[in-house]
Structure 1
Amino acid sequence: DELRNALTEFDAPVVVQGQEEPNFHRVVMNDLQAGTVVGEFAASLHPQNTLLLKIDETMDWDIGHDRFLNIRKKLSTSKVTVVDSKFSIAEAKVAAQQAMQSQNFDLIIGATDRITIGALQAGLATGQNAQYIGFGRSDLSTTVTPNLTSFEYDFYQTGKKIYELFCTVRDTNPSNTIRTVLDGELVVRDSTEK
């Protein structure tokens, strides 16, 4: 709230990236589309027991809610366990290990690549025979073994869109807020191949 108030009072153009803030011009990722694509792909793997590691919705609605809404719908034939995590690899590993103490999962989906990598570490430590899917576009997804299947956003294009929107806001001072939505794509790698 403090940041929101400070930005409202700031006497300069403001563009927000990655957060659905209706009072500000913004560039956001299409997390509903991402969840649909990942959910359809996940369902095609025919999992029996899926672990979803998400972020608390009150911390980040788009990542914690929108990203997982359609995944849950598409995985209606799988048993699904949902666990809240934090954004760090270490905290995700702990959250995943706690869930893995009492269950074996054949599919694990993390809200970000970092969270999924934490789950991958936990899975290796607990002997899980699972497939893994993340979200992002980080070097980490191609650094870990197996390379991580991930729904990826083009952050270079995102930066361009932020700059273009900033210039529009600066030069035209629009009366209505402008919302730009960017889609991404699923990149399938070794972590979903058995």
Structure 2
Amino acid sequence: MIKTISDIARMAGVAKSTVSRYLNGGPVSERTRQKIEHIIKEQNYVPNTFAQSLKAKKTNIIGTVVPRLDSFASSQTLMGIDEELRKNHYQMLISNTSQDMDREIEAIYDFARQKISGIILLAAQVTKAHLHAIAEINIPVILVGQQHEQVHSLVHNDDQAGFLMGQHVLSKGHRKIVYLGVTEKDEAVGIRRKNGFRRAVDACSECEVSYYETGFKMSDAMAAASLILKEQVPSIMVCATDNIALGVFKAAHLNNIQIPEELSITGFGGYDITEIIHPALTTVQYHYFQAGKLAAHNIIQLVLEQKVDMLSVMDVELIQRESVDKLAANRV
């Protein structure tokens, strides 16, 4: 079994620097790349990434800051990031901040001190403190889920998602609507998603729409929905996330309200569980795994000092299921 990159270089008939460049994600010819990959697989060579990091000015490690790990969106995004990084011989180091803003800023500085090559930041919001930290560390950073004109960003098309859901709700004949959202400190979910929905329903003069806020946790949504349902029972509750929708499901069951006969419910996200529950949840599918892969690809390009668009936008898709009742066939 080969043990060093010198062994690989000798077997491939190339310079040691060429093998080193390949292992660190640098440019090599296609023919050379295939030759090196074949030798590595054939010989079961495992690069000593720690030793490489000690010698290199930059490591092959990408830091990823996440607000929470117990989230379908976060886990799927991380899986996509990990797959793309591994394919390109990079490794991922994760910092979970438990939705603590101070820990988020601290994680950015911690990664910089550890000589990581780039940072992927899954931020709930972008503050002046974030921008100051990003400018100060002088390391490539990509925002995922939020955007800012000063930082490379990758977002899901939240405005379009909200608009698609608004159009769908109207097409099913719903006119008495509750929108259960989140704080506007979260620009993507709290503002853009809601604004897209509002853009669709504002075109309907017959609509009666009430807007409420809750937290991202299912328990918070359940409590908020229980209070709302004591005040009124709309024909539909449009929830800013699938997790919130699941909380509303629970509140409806506790109040003996039938879904969708007495209350229709929708979400956003496309979590796996939304297809399993009964009735299955109408939602907007977000492609978190693909977003993770693209974020990883983009950060690698930035590390290699290649050009990357300041803003990348992921498409979304409306998934129609059984949780929305059609109130009138002739309503549009």
Q: Tell me if both proteins adopt one fold, taking TM over 0.5 as the criterion.
A: yes
Partner secondary structure for residue 147 of structure 1: coil
Question: How far apart, in 2, do the equivalents of 1:4 and 1:137 lie?
Answer: 31
Q: Deviations over 1:91-147 (max 9, x none)?
A: 011111111111111111111000111111112222331111100121231232211
Greater relative contact order (CA < 8 Å, ≥ 6 in sequence)? 1
Task: State the shift of 1:21 in Å.
Answer: 2.1
Give the equivalent residue in structure 1 for 2:174.
47
Give the equivalent residue in structure 2 for 1:13.
140
Contact 1:137 1:150 in 2 (8 A): yes
Give the equivalent residue in structure 2 for 1:183.
315
What letter matches 1:17 in structure 2? V
2:253 corresponds, among 121, 124, 127, to 124
Task: State the shift of 1:48 in Å.
Answer: 3.0
Q: CA RMSD in A?
A: 1.8
Give the equivalent residue in structure 2 for 1:71.
197
Gaps of 5+ in 2: 1-126, 327-332
Question: How far apart, in 2, do the equivalents of 1:137 and 1:4 lie?
Answer: 31
Contact 2:163 2:198 in 1 (8 A): no
What letter matches 2:249 in structure 1? L
Question: How far apart, in 2, do the equivalents of 1:156 and 1:61 lie?
Answer: 21
Contact 1:24 1:177 in 2 (8 A): no
Partner secondary structure for residue 268 of structure 2: strand
Bigger strand share: 1
Give the equivalent residue in structure 2 for 1:113.
242
Give the equivalent residue in structure 2 for 1:149.
282
Question: How far apart, in 1, do the equivalents of 2:200 and 2:149 lie?
Answer: 29
Give the equivalent residue in structure 2 for 1:138.
271
Give the equivalent residue in structure 1 for 2:154.
27
Aligned length: 192
User: Quick one: percent identity of the two aligned structures?
Assistant: 27
Give the equivalent residue in structure 1 for 2:12.
none
Question: How far apart, in 2, do the equivalents of 1:149 and 1:94 lie?
Answer: 21
Task: State the shift of 1:193 in Å.
Answer: 4.2
Highest Rg: 1 or 2?
2
2:188 corresponds, among 43, 62, 65, to 62
The TM-score, its normalising length taken from structure 2, stands at 0.55
Name the stretch that deviates more: 16-25 or 72-81. Answer: 72-81
The TM-score, its normalising length taken from structure 1, stands at 0.91
Return closer, same or farther for 1:24/1:158 CA change in 2, 3 Å cut-off.
same
Question: How far apart, in 2, do the equivalents of 1:118 and 1:4 lie?
Answer: 34
Question: How far apart, in 1, do the equivalents of 2:250 and 2:164 lie?
Answer: 25
Give the equivalent residue in structure 1 for 2:220.
91
Kindly indicate whether residue 324 of structure 2 is the aligned counterpart of residue 192 of structure 1.
Answer: yes
Partner secondary structure for residue 323 of structure 2: helix
What letter matches 1:119 in structure 2? V
What letter matches 1:192 in structure 2? V
Contact 1:23 1:177 in 2 (8 A): no
Contact 1:56 1:84 in 2 (8 A): yes
Question: How far apart, in 2, do the equivalents of 1:12 and 1:46 lie?
Answer: 51
Partner secondary structure for residue 135 of structure 1: coil
What letter matches 2:324 in structure 1? T
What letter matches 1:142 in structure 2? E
